[in-house]
C-alpha cells in the first residue's frame, strides 16, 4: 500500500496537548509494527492564526491537506485569551469553519460516532442503564441543514427576516442509509466473532442480530422526512437480516435516556445527528471518550478526518489536565480506517484501542495529567 | 370576568382516559370554588375521524374552537388498531396536524414547558443530579423550522431534491426573547416568596437571582443564529438583573444531563425547543409529568392550548393504566393561565397542582390505574 501520510492539525485550546499524547502512541506503534506511516504537523491555532492573517486557517489549507490519507485533528474553537485586555475574540462560527470546510471539500459524507460505555468511563444514568449502550450513530455529513444557504433580509431592522434552507438529495440519502445497513451487518458479524449477540425485533415479529433506526422529524419537517422514510423502506428490503426502526428526533432523545440498549445503528441527518451524538456521547461516558470520524468511503484519493467530539476547552487549556482518552480513541479509529488498505494499521489501531480501554478500566476514577495518561497507554503498548 | 369556556378535545389513544380524570378534578374544583367555568367536549379521535370523514379533524375545527378561552387537549396520534386486518393506519403527520394548526391558527407563539423533578417522579440520572432540575423551556412556537415551506423536486426519482425552509423574523425573535426575560423575573420573584433563592453568574462576575439561556446552532446555522444572538444581547440590556447565557443546541443536550441545575429559563427555536423539551421532560421524571402550554399572551380573544407532552400511547390505550399525572399538571397550568383574568381560577390551579404533587410524592412508585390516581387526587381536593 506504500507509505501512508497523515496530516496532523493540533488546532488550539487543549488540542495540542491531547495530540501530543496521540503522537507518542503513534511513535510507539510505528516502531513496534514497522508501520509505513509518516506525519506532518500543521500548526494552525484558529485564534492566533486569524489574528495574524485574518483567516482562521490558511486559504489554501485544503490544498495543503489534500494529498494526505487522513487528517488527525485535535480541537478548534478557542476564542483567544479572555483576560487579556487587548484580547481578540474569535467567534466560533469562524474558528470552527475549517471543520465544515474539510467535511465539504473532501466530501466526507459519513460522520461515524460510536457510543459505547467503556468500563471506567463516567456514568450519568441510574440503574446501570448506560452499561449496555452500544450504538453507532451515522450522521449524514454532506448536506441537509448544513448547506449554508440562506441569509438575512433587512438585517438589523425590525422587519428582518433570516432564512436558512435545508436541502436533502435522494442520492445522499440513499448512500448514507445503505452505509448504515452495511455497518449494521459488519457490527453483527463482529459481535458474533466475539461471541456476543444482540437481538432486535422486526415489525413482523422476526428476530434479527442487528438493527438500523432512521431518525426524522417527519411529523413537522415533512418533505425530507417523507423522503428519508421512503428511501429507508426501499433499501431495507435489500437487508432482510437487519431489523428496522423509526424514531422522531425528539422521541429518540428520550429513548436514548430511557432505553439506550434498544439502539444499534442510528442514521440521522446532519443537524439531528449532531444533536444525538452529543447526547449519546455524554450518556456513554462524556465527551472525554467520544471519537468522531468524518469519512469519504467512496473516493480513495480524498483524506478522511478524525477528531474527538470534544471541543477546545479553553478554560483548561495549557494546564496539562485535559483527558487525551477521546483523542487516543480517535487515533485508534483512524488507524483502523487506514487498515482497509494496510492490515498492519488495523492491528495497531486495535492495539491502541485495547490499551486505552484497559487503562481507562483500571484508572478511570483517578485524577491524572494528560501526560500521565499518555505515558500509561504508551507503556501498555510497549508491553 | 364572566363565565370562562373551555373546549376539551380528548383526542385518541390514552387521551380520553386521562382527560376523564382531569374533568373529574375540574368538577370538584368548580363546585368547591364556585368557579365560573364551563366546558364542551369535541370528540375528534384523529384516526377514527379520518376514516369516516377523510380529514383528521373537521375542516372547520378551528372555527368551532375559536370562541373558547382555552383548549384542553388529551393526546393525538393513535394510528388506529394495528391488529385489525382491515386496519387503516393514519400517519402521524396527518393525525398530529391539528396540533400545529391550532398553534398557527391561534397564534400561540409561546410554548412553555416547565421541567422540575417532583418528589416521587422517576429519576433517570445518577447522583441525584435530577433533583435540582428547575427550568422553564420557552419554545418559539410560531415560525422557524416549522413554517412548512419547501417541497420535493423530481419526487421519487434518483435526482430528487427535498427542501425545507427555515424562516425566522426579528419580530417573533424579540417577542419570545422578551417573554423569556419576563418569565425569569417572575420565577425569581416567586422563588423569593417561597423563601428559595438561586444564583447565576453573569459574564462580568455579578450574581443574579435568575438566568435566561438562549439556544442556537450559530456555528452551523449562522443566519438566524446570529440574529438570535444579537436580539438576545440587545434585549438583555433591559434586564440587568437577569444573568444571560448562550449554548449551542448540541452542547445544551449534554449539559442538561451533566449539570441540569445550571439552567433557569431556556429560550429555543421551534425545533430545537421541541428536542430540548423532550429531553428535559425525561430527565425530570419522564413524559408522565410534563405539561405543554401553547400560549397566545398578546391576543386575549385567542384561545391558548394545553396538552401533556406525552403522546397517545396506543400500545396501552383502553387498558385504564395510563398515568393521568401529566394531564392533571397540564390542567393546573390551564387554570393558572385563566387566573390572569379570574384569581379564583389561579387558586384552583394551584390547589390542583399541590394535590397532584402530594399524591405523586406519596404514591409515586405504586402501580395504580388511571382511575385510582384520579380518585386519589379528587379526594385530596375535596378533603
Ligand atoms: C463545530 C460544529 C460546526 C460541529 C458540527 O455541528 O458539526 C460540531 O458540533 C461537531 O459535532 O462536530
Ligand atoms: C406532534 C409534533 C408535531 C409536536 C411538535 O414537534 O411540536 C410534538 O412533538 C410536540 O412537542 O408538541
Residue A18: half-sphere exposure toward Cβ, Cα within 13 Å = 34
**CA dist., res. A274 & res. B196, Å (int):** 37
Q: Taking a C-beta distance cutoff of 8 angstroms, is the pair B172, B204 a contact?
A: no
- Whether A290 lines ligand 1, by a CB cut-off of 6 Å, is no
| Residues in chain A closer than 8 A to B230 (CB atoms) | 156
Ligand with the closest atom to the CA of A276 = 1
- The answer to whether A349 and A339 have CB atoms below 8 angstroms apart is yes
Contacts of residue B94, defined as CB under 8 A and 6 or more positions apart, other chains included, come to B46, B50, B56
Closest ligand 2 atom to Cα of B111: 12
Separation of CA B274 and ligand 2 centre (Å): 7
For residue B150, the chain A residue with the least C-alpha distance is A223
* CA-A277 nearest atom, ligand 1: 11
Question: Which positions of chain B have pLDDT values less than 70?
Answer: 1, 81-89, 287-288
- What percent of chain A has pLDDT above 90? 79
Nearest-neighbour CA in chain B from A137: distance (Å): 14
How many other CB atoms are found less than 10 A from the CB of residue A20? 17
Please choose from B217, B220, B225 the residue to mutate so as to test ligand 1's pocket, defined by most ligand atoms within 8 A of CB: B220
β-bridge mates for residue B268, sequence order: B139
Residue A227 φ then ψ, to 5°: -65, -45
- Of all ligands present, the nearest one to the C-alpha of A113 is 1
Residue found under cell 443530579 = B129
pLDDT more than 70, % of chain A: 97
Cα–Cα distance for residue pair A218/B93, rounded to 1 Å: 7
Ligand 1 neighbour B220 (Cβ under 6 A): yes
DSSP letter assigned to residue B89: P
Q: Are strands A207-208 and B207-208 parallel, antiparallel or unpaired?
A: unpaired
- Report the atom number in ligand 2 closest to the C-alpha of B307: 12
CB-based contacts of A364: which residues, under 8 Å, 6+ apart?
A119, A120, A121, A122
Q: Is B124 on the interface with A (CB under 8 A)?
A: yes
B82 touching A, CB under 8 A? Answer: no
Q: How far apart are CA B16 and CA B317, in angstroms?
A: 9
Tell me the C-alpha distance between B301 and B69, whole Å.
7
Between CA A358 and CA A73, with CA A355 as vertex, the angle to 5 degrees is 120
In tens, the pLDDT along B111-168 reads 999 999 888 888 999 988 888 899 999 999 999 999 999 999 999 999 999 999 999 9
Give the closest of A159, A164, A279 to B224, CB-based. A164
The domain spans of chain A are: 1-108+298-383, 123-284
* Nearest-by-CA chain A residue for B175: A158
Chain A residues in contact with B271 (beta carbon < 8 A): 217, 220-221
Average pLDDT, chain B: 93
Interval between CA A190 and ligand 1 midpoint (Å): 29
DSSP B108: -
Q: Which atom of ligand 1 is nearest to the CA of A76?
A: 1
Render pLDDT for A198-256 as a digit per residue (tens, 0 to 9).
999 887 788 999 999 999 999 899 999 999 999 999 999 999 999 999 999 999 999 99
Residues of A in contact with B227 (CB under 8 A): 152, 155, 160, 162
Closest Cα in chain A to B174: A158
Mean pLDDT, all residues of chain A: 93
Residue B60 DSSP code: T
CA distance B36 to B22: 17
Of ligand 2's atoms, which has the minimum distance to the CA of residue A251? 9
- Please check whether residue A168 is in contact with residue A227, taking contact to mean a CB–CB distance below 8 angstroms: yes
Determine the 3-state secondary structure of B22 from DSSP: helix
In this prediction, residue B87 carries a pLDDT of: 60
pLDDT at B288: 67
Q: What are phi and psi of B305, to 5 degrees?
A: -130, 135
Contacts of B222 in chain A (CB under 8 A): 93, 148
The minimum CA-CA distance between B288 and chain A, rounded to whole Å, is 12
Contacts of B360 (CB under 8 A, 6+ apart): B118, B119, B120, B121, B289, B325
Contacts of A29 (CB under 8 A, 6+ apart): A35, A335, A348, A351, A352, A381
Residue B140 in contact with residue B176, Cβ under 8 Å? yes
Question: What 3-state DSSP class applies to B308?
Answer: strand
How would CATH label the architecture of A1-108+298-383?
3-Layer(aba) Sandwich (3.40)
Contact A152 B275 (CB under 8 A): no
pTM of the shown model? 0.94
Tell me which of A304-313, A318-327, B50-59, B177-186 is least confident.
Answer: B50-59
- Residue whose CA is at the smallest distance from ligand 2 atom 1: B96
Q: How far apart are CA B287 and CA B124, in angstroms?
A: 12
Task: Compute the distance between CA of residue B356 and CA of residue B118 in angstroms, rounded to an integer.
Answer: 10
Report yes or no: A296 and A318 within 8 Å, Cβ to Cβ: no
Nearest residue, CB atoms, B93 vs list A155, A161, A218:
A218
State the SS3 of chain A. CCCEEEEEEEECCCHHHHHHHHHHHHHHHHHHHCCCEEEEECCCCHHHHHHHHCCCCCCCHHHHHCCCCEEEEEECCCCCCCCCCCCCCCCHHHHCHHHHHHHHHCCCCEEEEEEECCCCCCCCECCCHHHHCEEEEEEECCCEEEEEEEEEECCCCCCCEEEEEEEEEHHHHHHHHHHHHHHHHHHHHHHHHCCCCCCEECCCCCEECEEEEEEECCCCCHHHHHHHHHHHHHHHCCCCCEEEEEEEHHHHHHHHHHCHHHCCEEEECHHHHHHHHHHHHHHCCCHHHCEEEEECCCCCCCCEEEEECCCCCCCCCCCCCCCCHHHHHHHHHHHHHHCCCCHHHHHHHHHHHHHHHHHHHHHCCCCCCHHHHHHHHHHHHHC
By C-alpha distance, the chain B residue nearest A91 is: B219
pLDDT tens, position by position, A48-97:
888 888 888 999 999 999 999 999 999 998 877 666 666 666 777 777 88
The C-alpha atoms of residue A366 and residue A355 are separated, in whole angstroms, by: 17
Which residues in chain A have their CB less than 8 angstroms from residue B152's CB? 223, 226-227
- B1-108+297-383 and B123-148+164-284 share one CATH topology? yes
Whether A221 sits inside 8 A of B271 (CB atoms) is: yes
Please check whether residue A88 touches B, CB under 8 A.
Answer: no
CA angle A97, A100, A103 (to 5 degrees): 150
DSSP3 helix / strand / coil % (chain B, rounded to 5):
45, 20, 35
Angle between helices A270-283 and B249-258 (to 10 degrees): 20
A251 CB within 8 Å of a chain B CB: yes
Q: What is the B217 CA–ligand 1 centroid distance (Å)?
A: 9
Position A288 pLDDT exceeds 70: no
Ligand 1 centre and the CA of A163: distance in Å?
A: 20
Does the Cβ of B251 fall within 6 Å of ligand 1? no
Task: List all residues whose CB is within 6 A of at least one atom of ligand 2.
Answer: A 219-220, 250; B 96, 99-100, 274, 292
A13: closest CA among A71, A114, A90, A86?
A90
Residue B95's Cβ-count burial label (10 Å; 0-12, 13-18, 19+) is: buried
B161: chain A residues, CB-CB within 8 Å:
167-170
**Ligand 2 center from residue B140 Cα (angstroms):** 12
Q: What is the CATH number of domain B123-148+164-284?
A: 3.40.718.10
Does the beta-carbon distance from B275 to A275 stay under 8 Å? yes
For the A123-284 domain, the top CATH level (class) is alpha beta
The residues in B 30-69 lying below 8 A from A, measured between CB atoms, are none
Judge whether B121 and B285 are in contact, CB under 8 Å.
yes
- B1-108+297-383 in CATH: which number? 3.40.718.10
**A227/B152 touch (CB, cutoff 8 Å), yes or no:** yes
- Cα(A238)–Cα(A253) distance, integer angstroms: 28
Q: Using CA atoms in the order A117, A118, A124, A129, what is the torsion angle rounded to 10 degrees?
A: 50
Cβ-based contacts of B160 with chain A (< 8 Å) = 169-170, 227
The whole-number pLDDT of residue A48 equals: 82
Could you give the angle at the alpha carbon of B305 between the alpha carbons of B301 and B307, nearest 5°? 170
Contact call for residues B166 and A165 (beta carbons, < 8 A): yes
pLDDT in tens, A329-364: 999 999 999 999 999 999 999 999 999 999 999 987
Nearest CB to A257 within list B151, B271, B283: B283
Amino acid at each position: 500500500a506504500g507509505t501512508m501520510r497523515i496530516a496532523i492539525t493540533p488546532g488550539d485550546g487543549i488540542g495540542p496537548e491531547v495530540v501530543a499524547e496521540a503522537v507518542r502512541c503513534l511513535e510507539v506503534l510505528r516502531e513496534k509494527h514497522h508501520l509505513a506511516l509518516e506525519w506532518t504537523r500543521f500548526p494552525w491555532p484558529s485564534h492566533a492564526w486569524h489574528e495574524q492573517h485574518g483567516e482562521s486557517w490558511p486559504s489554501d489549507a485544503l490544498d495543503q491537506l489534500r494529498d494526505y490519507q487522513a487528517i488527525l485533528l485535535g480541537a478548534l474553537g478557542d476564542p483567544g485569551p479572555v483576560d487579556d485586555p487587548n484580547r481578540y475574540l474569535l467567534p466560533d462560527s469562524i474558528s470552527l469553519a475549517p471543520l465544515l470546510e474539510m467535511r465539504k471539500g473532501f466530501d466526507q459524507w459519513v460522520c461515524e460516532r460510536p457510543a459505547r460505555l467503556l468500563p471506567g468511563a463516567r456514568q450519568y444514568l441510574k440503574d446501570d442503564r448506560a452499561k449496555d449502550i452500544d450504538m453507532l450513530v451515522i450522521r449524514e455529513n454532506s448536506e441537509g441543514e448544513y448547506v449554508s444557504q440562506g441569509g438575512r433580509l433587512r438585517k438589523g431592522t425590525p422587519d428582518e427576516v433570516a432564512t436558512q434552507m435545508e436541502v436533502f438529495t435522494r442520492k445522499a440519502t440513499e448512500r448514507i442509509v445503505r452505509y448504515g445497513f452495511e455497518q449494521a451487518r459488519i457490527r453483527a458479524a463482529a459481535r458474533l466473532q466475539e461471541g456476543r449477540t444482540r437481538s432486535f425485533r422486526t415489525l413482523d415479529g422476526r428476530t434479527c442480530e442487528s438493527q438500523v433506526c432512521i431518525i426524522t422529524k417527519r411529523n413537522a419537517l415533512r418533505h425530507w422526512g417523507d423522503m428519508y422514510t421512503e428511501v429507508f423502506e426501499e433499501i431495507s428490503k435489500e437487508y432482510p437480516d437487519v431489523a428496522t426502526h423509526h424514531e422522531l428526533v425528539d422521541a429518540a432523545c428520550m429513548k436514548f435516556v430511557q432505553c439506550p440498549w434498544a439502539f444499534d445503528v442510528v442514521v440521522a441527518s446532519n443537524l439531528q445527528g449532531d444533536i444525538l451524538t452529543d447526547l449519546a456521547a455524554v450518556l456513554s461516558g462524556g465527551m472525554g471518550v467520544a471519537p468522531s470520524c468524518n469519512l469519504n468511503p467512496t473516493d480513495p484519493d480524498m483524506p478522511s478526518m478524525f477528531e474527538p467530539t470534544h471541543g477546545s476547552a479553553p478554560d483548561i487549556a495549557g494546564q496539562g489536565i485535559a483527558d487525551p482518552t477521546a483523542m487516543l480513541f480517535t487515533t485508534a479509529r483512524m488507524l483502523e480506517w487506514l487498515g482497509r488498505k494496510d492490515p498492519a494499521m488495523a492491528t495497531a489501531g486495535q492495539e491502541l484501542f485495547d490499551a486505552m480501554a484497559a487503562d481507562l478500566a483500571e484508572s478511570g476514577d483517578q485524577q491524572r495529567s494528560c501526560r500521565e495518561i499518555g505515558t500509561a497507554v504508551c507503556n501498555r503498548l510497549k508491553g
